[in-house]
Structure 1
Amino acid sequence: MNMEEINFAYKVRHALNQNLEHLPASTTSRLAAARQAALARKKADMPIRVLASVPATAQGTAGGFFANPFSWLSRLSVALPVVVVLASLVGMYQAEKQHRISELAEIDAMVLSDELPLNAYLDHGFNAFLARRGD
């Protein structure tokens, strides 16, 4: 609920409480039944978990890294996926770089060993291919 709805509910409750003596008995019984039905449908209160940090001076000699055995595990569960993603990105970059180097080396070896036919050097598409591969 937002603050506007809460304020409206408080105003309605206040108006009903002020005029409670002037309401007919049938209306008060219907309001009581509606209140009971609303309370029956109300969700159970859930305990609220609050993350509170403890100053380093309050931990004493028994505190520190081993004070909460699962705190390092929660930090690791956040850091581990980040490390895995970074490692996979570096691996993919290195693999693509190695693949490109091997393709260029193969073309250079063909050019230097004269295994290409003479018409390949005259073809403008081949020159464009070599220029694009050389970038």
Structure 2
Amino acid sequence: MNYSRTLSTPLDSQALEARFALRLTARLSEGAARQPHAIEERLRFARQQALERARERRKAVVTQQPATVQAAGSTLALGGGPRDKGGSWWERAMAMALPLAVLVGGMALIHWNQTHAQIEAAVQIDADLLTDDLPPAAYSDPGFVEFLRKQQDR
């Protein structure tokens, strides 16, 4: 047979698959009829087990709840079915450790930034004191502080 033509729709491919499945089952049935009774019984039992497993899988897929979006007040939560138990141990550990690492890194960055700003402010004050016309000892004189207060009151 020559199946070189392209399948234009999914229905064409499904029809082709169905015909192939029918031919295959017919061939297998012919071969099974020629088998001894013991092998035939083992094959029948295996088919029944496979069909039962397939039914259980279909039931499990049908009974699983799809992920839903639930609104509760002003919050929004994503919910899921029974398979939302989590992944492997490594995935759960990473899911917990990654936000913690980001938080610690952010806190370290904030601490560095605050320390850097304080150092820059101290440098600016020192530079202003050293470049001012008054000597640094004048700032520690109690009379100078009183002089500054009187200047502000005016």
Q: TM-score range by the shorter chain?
A: 0.3 to 0.5
Greater strand content:
2
Larger radius of gyration: 2
What TM-score, normalized by structure 1, do the two folds share?
Answer: 0.36
By relative contact order (CA 8 Å, sep 6+), the higher-ranking structure is 1
